[in-house]
A = this chain, B = another copy of it.
Amino acid sequence: MNRSRVEAFSDGVFAIAITLLVLTIAQPTNYHALAHQLGQRWPSLAAYVVSFVVIGIEWVNHHTVFLHLQRIDRAMFYLNLALLMTIVFLPYPTEVFGEALVKGSDARTAAVFYSVVMTINACVWAVTWLYASMGRRLLTAEFPEAHRRMSTLLFTIGPLPYAIAIGLAFVNPYVCLGFHGLLALYYAFDPISQRLNRG
């Protein structure tokens, strides 16, 4: 299978998923109290920002991983499809989370739901990486062995912080959203992956 066409298809899916996020912020229902209604929607805006950064980072991650693949086999294509499926799904829990915080009812459930989807996404990433890298199955010869071991460690523990987010959701949904934002910031500036990228 042609790597660059799979990348182009994936890029398109990422670009659309990130853009559809704007639809997750509910339009005002009452235009006589517009300022009040717009102000009320800040948690939806916050969820929009967090999910936007998350998808942006996953795009960089996808870009980096595929750069080190020398070929894509059928199983890898379907793992990539499963990965895209969890990313395309993200606007749904984002809307639910933002809306629940705006309405102030059952926001804990929404926070758990959002965090579970993120955890599943991290698990699919881990499986995808393990499939591609075990025995260097699909990796290019240039990719250093030390980087492979470090990446395997990072992808394998990747679901852990999201599992913690599930726990935080039970404590307080706002803390949970903030934690997702901090995680996104961490991944954006993460010194380990920066070193790997440069490698």
Seen from chain A, the residues whose Cβ lies within 8 Å of a Cβ on chain B are 1-2, 5, 7-9, 11-23, 25, 27-28, 31-35, 38, 48-49, 52-53, 56, 59-60, 63, 67, 74, 77-78, 81, 84-85, 88-89, 91-92, 95-96, 99-100, 103, 105-106, 109-110, 113, 188-189, 194, 197
The distance in angstroms between the C-alpha atoms of A52 and B99, with both chains bound, is 26
B27/A18 in contact, CB under 8 A = no
Known contacts A2-B63, A11-B5, A109 near B38 by CB under 8 Å: yes
Residues of B within 8 A of A38 (CB): 96, 109, 113
Residues of B within 8 A of A19 (CB): 13, 16-17, 20, 88
**Is chain A's interface secondary structure helix, strand, loop, or mixed overall?**
helix
Known contacts A9-B11, A53-B81, A18 near B96 by CB under 8 Å: no
List 24 A–B pairs whose Cβ atoms lie within 8 Å, in order of A's numbering. Answer: A1-B63, A5-B11, A9-B11, A9-B15, A12-B16, A15-B15, A15-B16, A18-B84, A19-B88, A20-B20, A20-B23, A23-B23, A27-B95, A27-B96, A31-B105, A34-B96, A34-B105, A34-B113, A38-B96, A38-B113, A48-B89, A52-B88, A56-B78, A60-B77
